[in-house]
């Protein structure tokens, strides 16, 4: 059976990816996945060598063939997104609903696949990494997340690997839902701030809605012990375990500058705390 740990945070910048980078060192026999496709940065720590690159196609792109168009104006009239003007489709405004394509009496509207990004299978010093890059201003990151996860699961099956560790996207939108459905365990990384608590609660609500087992890690807990206490209280009330508390430490930035996972860069207090966090996660996964 393949198990999947997904690491989430209510927003970006909580140190989530740095922790996932360290899990890549600590976990044995696993596949790493970067599902933060809008702002992928796990590769900056894991330094992958791309072995396979694949195109990602989002929604179809529609355009009007002016040689066939009889200029009846029906498409412009029907488009709810005001994407058609003077018998031209504005690709930025077009939402790809296909109404114009279906309604055109002259079959003058044509469609083609639109490349929105790429996804890769790579090798790193710590094992395989499946990751992706969404094109600038491209949407459909939820669909790309699904594709990346599917590729990782297929690879795990083929190579008899039983663990997938996923760096999830921030927030609670469609890509997050796409990355947590069907996962075995979620780790929510939060910080002791007002917005950190608010964002954590939103992710916890989402996990509870999808009935996913969840643990919390408080990063930079020592920056505000009062707010840390608040997080602990909320978690107790929700019956959510705190898997670890990580101190505020410049080592995160220093390791990032060297393109190294924190636990490989240093063996100090912070690395010890990350190792203990990983052990708690792993034990919870196998309970």
Shortest Cβ distance from residue 172 to ligand SF4 (Å)?
Answer: 26
Q: Tell me whether residue 54 or residue 107 sits nearer to ligand SF4 (CB atom).
A: 107
Among 24, 33, 79, 172, binds ligand SF4 (CB under 6 A): 79
The answer to whether residue 104 forms part of the interface with ligand SF4 (CB under 6 A) is yes
The answer to whether residue 94 forms part of the interface with ligand SF4 (CB under 6 A) is yes
The answer to whether residue 88 forms part of the interface with ligand SF4 (CB under 6 A) is no
- Residue 204 and residue 8: Cα distance in Å, rounded? 10
Structure tokens at 149: 């996860």
Q: Tell me whether residue 102 or residue 225 sits nearer to ligand SF4 (CB atom).
A: 102
The answer to whether residue 62 forms part of the interface with ligand SF4 (CB under 6 A) is yes
Q: Tell me whether residue 94 or residue 165 sits nearer to ligand SF4 (CB atom).
A: 94
The answer to whether residue 202 forms part of the interface with ligand SF4 (CB under 6 A) is no
Shortest Cβ distance from residue 140 to ligand SF4 (Å)?
Answer: 15
The answer to whether residue 89 forms part of the interface with ligand SF4 (CB under 6 A) is yes
Longest dimension (CA), the chain: 73
Among 109, 132, 151, 188, binds ligand SF4 (CB under 6 A): 109
The answer to whether residue 223 forms part of the interface with ligand SF4 (CB under 6 A) is no
Ramachandran region, residue 211 (left: φ > 0; alpha: ψ -120 to 50; beta: rest):
left
The answer to whether residue 97 forms part of the interface with ligand SF4 (CB under 6 A) is yes
Among 2, 72, 177, 285, binds ligand SF4 (CB under 6 A): 72
SS (H, E, C) the chain: CCEEEEEEECCCCCCHHHHHHHHHHHCCCEEEEECCCCCCCCHHHHCCEEEEEEEEECCCEEEECCCCCCCCCHHHHHCCCCCEECCEECCCCCCCCCHHHHHCCCCCEEEECCEEEEEEEEEECCEEEEEEEECCCCCCHHHHHHHHHHHHHHHHHHCCCCEEEEEEEECCCHHHHHHHCCCCEEEEEECCCHHHHHHHHHHHHHHHHCCCCEEEEEECHHHCHHHHHHHHHHHHHHCCEEEEEECCCCHHHHHHHCCCCHHHHCCCHHHHHHHHHHHHHHHHHCC
- Per the CB < 8 A criterion, the answer to whether 206 and 235 are in contact is no
Q: Tell me whether residue 51 or residue 71 sits nearer to ligand SF4 (CB atom).
A: 71
The answer to whether residue 83 forms part of the interface with ligand SF4 (CB under 6 A) is yes
Name the residue with tokens 């996972």.
Answer: 261
The answer to whether residue 49 forms part of the interface with ligand SF4 (CB under 6 A) is no
Among 39, 44, 50, 70, binds ligand SF4 (CB under 6 A): 70
Q: Name the segment binding ligand SF4 (CB under 6 A); options: 2-10, 97-105, 142-150, 204-212.
A: 97-105
The answer to whether residue 32 forms part of the interface with ligand SF4 (CB under 6 A) is no
The answer to whether residue 63 forms part of the interface with ligand SF4 (CB under 6 A) is no
Binding site for ligand SF4 (CB under 6 A): 62, 64, 69-75, 79, 81, 83-84, 87, 89, 94-100, 104, 106, 108-109
């Amino acid at each position: 059976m393949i198990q999947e740990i997904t690491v989430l945070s209510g927003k970006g910048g909580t140190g989530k990816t740095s922790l996932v980078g360290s899990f890549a060192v600590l976990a044995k026999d696993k596949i790493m996945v970067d599902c933060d496709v809008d702002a992928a940065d796990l590769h900056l720590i894991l330094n992958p060598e791309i072995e396979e690159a694949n195109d990602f196609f989002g929604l179809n792109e529609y355009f009007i063939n002016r040689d066939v168009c009889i200029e009846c104006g029906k498409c412009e009239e029907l488009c709810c997104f005001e994407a058609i003007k003077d018998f031209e489709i504005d690709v930025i405004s077009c939402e790809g609903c296909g109404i114009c394509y279906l309604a055109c009496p002259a079959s003058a509207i044509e469609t083609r696949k639109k490349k929105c990004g790429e996804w890769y299978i790579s090798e790193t010093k710590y094992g395989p990494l499946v990751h992706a890059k969404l094109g600038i201003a491209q949407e459909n990151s939820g669909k790309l997340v699904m594709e990346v996860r599917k590729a990782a699961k297929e690879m795990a099956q083929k190579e008899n690997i039983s663990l997938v560790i996923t760096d999830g996207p921030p927030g609670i939108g469609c890509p997050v839902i796409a990355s947590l459905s069907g996962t075995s365990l979620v780790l929510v990384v939060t910080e002791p701030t007002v917005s950190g608590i608010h964002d954590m609660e939103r992710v916890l609500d989402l996990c509870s809605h999808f009935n996913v087992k969840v643990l919390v890690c408080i990063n930079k807990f020592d920056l505000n012990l009062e707010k840390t206490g608040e997080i602990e209280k909320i978690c107790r009330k929700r019956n959510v375990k705190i898997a670890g508390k990580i101190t505020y430490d410049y080592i995160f930035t220093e390791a990032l500058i060297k393109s190294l996972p924190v636990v490989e860069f240093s063996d100090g207090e912070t690395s010890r705390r990350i190792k203990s966090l990983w052990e708690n996660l792993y034990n919870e996964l196998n309970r």
